[in-house]
């Protein structure tokens, strides 16, 4: 998995609350679009005229289509960002647009977990901080960069103000070192086998279905 240490990148804001993963990537794209092309269809219904990434043009009313957000690497989102469906294609689509970090007051839990499986850093900051960061981005006429320092667990605003965030230590290490979660668990095969052997005696019905 791709490492994440520090990132300084232009940031974009889309502060709508409860952005669900159906809105991030439509279900038919999940089944019929190659992973590497999902970014072209991210936020399709809001991003393109007619709600269609194939036939529509970029809709100027959609915040992420603003010229100052072109090439952004950090996405500032609203409350409960990524709620709904478990589709990991939502993360692939956002990563496919070029984002490596999403900052929001809160996240849909499955989406949040899926981010870390793909080297995408999801950061929870207080709502007032997110709204201030996002508001400044939306008000700016030219690109504005933020810095994210994962080791120090801070987001650094353009003026230098630092906003500390909390992150599960295992997820932090996983991103910093680019660790493969499956590989790490496979190292515990003996423990898993021993646990199952004991469990078979304790709960035989689980294994006899």
Partner 1 sequence: MGMTLFDKVWDAHVIAELGGGAQLLHVDRHLIHELSSSRAFPDLAARGLKLRNPALTIGSTDHVVTTNPGRAGAAPWTIRMIDAMRAECAGAGVRYFDVGEDGSGILHVIGPELGFTLPGATVLCADSHTCTNGALGALAFGIGASELLHVLATQTIVQSKPGTLRANFTGSLPRGVYAKDMILALIGRVGAAGGSGYAVEYAGSAVRALEVEARMTLCNLSIELGAKIGMVAPDEKTYAYLQGRRLAPKGRDWDAALAHWQSLPGDADARFDREVGLDVSSLAPQITWGTSPEDVMDVDASIPDSPKRDALDYMGLAAGRPIAGTRVDRVFIGSCTNSRLSDLRIAAAVARSGKVAAHVEAWVVPGSIGVKRAAEAEGLHEVFLEAGFQWREPGCSLCVGANGELVAPQARCVSTSNRNFVGRQGPGARTHLASPAMAAAAALAGEIADVRDFPV
Provide the binding-site residues for partner 1, judged by CB under 8 A: 18, 20, 22-23, 26-28, 30-32, 45-46, 51-52, 79-80, 83-89, 91, 106-110, 113-114, 117-118, 168-171, 181-182, 185-186, 188-189, 191-192, 195-196, 199, 203-209
Provide the minimum distance between the beta carbon of 187 and partner 1 in the complex, in angstroms, as a whole number: 10
Q: What is the CA radius of gyration of the chain?
A: 19
Q: What is the DSSP string of 67-119?
A: GGGTT--EEEE-TTBTBS---THHHHHHHHTT--EEEES-B-HHHHHHHHTTT
**How far apart are the C-alpha atoms of 130 and 140, rounded to whole Å?**
15
Output phi, psi for 7, to 5 deg. -140, 125
Provide the minimum distance between the beta carbon of 202 and partner 1 in the complex, in angstroms, as a whole number: 8
Residue 9 or 111: the one with the smaller Cβ distance to partner 1 is 111
Provide the minimum distance between the beta carbon of 92 and partner 1 in the complex, in angstroms, as a whole number: 9
Residue 43 or 69: the one with the smaller Cβ distance to partner 1 is 43
Residue 161 or 192: the one with the smaller Cβ distance to partner 1 is 192
Name the H helices within the chain.
21-24, 27-32, 44-47, 89-96, 109-116, 127-139, 169-177, 181-186, 189-202, 204-207
Residue 69 or 107: the one with the smaller Cβ distance to partner 1 is 107
Provide the minimum distance between the beta carbon of 135 and partner 1 in the complex, in angstroms, as a whole number: 17
Residue 52 or 65: the one with the smaller Cβ distance to partner 1 is 52
**How far apart are the C-alpha atoms of 165 and 105, rounded to whole Å?**
11
Provide the minimum distance between the beta carbon of 199 and partner 1 in the complex, in angstroms, as a whole number: 7
Q: Provide the token pair at 77.
A: 């989102």
Provide the minimum distance between the beta carbon of 194 and partner 1 in the complex, in angstroms, as a whole number: 9
Mapped onto helix, strand or coil, the DSSP state of residue 180 is coil
Residue 76 or 83: the one with the smaller Cβ distance to partner 1 is 83
């Amino acid at each position: 998995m791709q490492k994440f240490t520090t990132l300084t990148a232009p940031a974009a804001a889309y502060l709508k609350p409860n952005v669900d993963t159906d809105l991030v990537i439509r279900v038919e794209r999940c089944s019929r679009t190659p992973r590497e092309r999902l970014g072209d269809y991210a936020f399709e219904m809001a991003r393109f005229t007619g709600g269609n990434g194939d036939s529509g043009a970029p809709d100027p009313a959609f915040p992420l289509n603003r010229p100052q957000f072109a090439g952004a690497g950090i996405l500032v989102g609203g409350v409960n960002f990524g709620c709904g469906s478990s589709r990991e294609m939502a993360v692939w689509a956002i990563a496919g647009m070029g984002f490596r970090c999403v900052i929001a007051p809160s996240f849909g839990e499955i989406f949040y977990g899926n981010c870390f499986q793909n080297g995408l850093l999801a950061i929870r900051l207080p709502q007032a901080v997110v709204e201030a960061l996002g508001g400044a981005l939306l008000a700016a006429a030219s690109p504005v960069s933020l810095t994210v320092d994962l080791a120090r667990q801070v987001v650094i605003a353009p003026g230098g103000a630092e906003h500390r965030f909390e992150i599960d230590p295992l997820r932090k290490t996983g991103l910093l070192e680019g660790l493969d979660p499956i590989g790490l668990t496979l190292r515990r095969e003996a423990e898993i086998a021993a646990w199952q052997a004991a469990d078979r005696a304790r709960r035989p019905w689980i294994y006899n279905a």
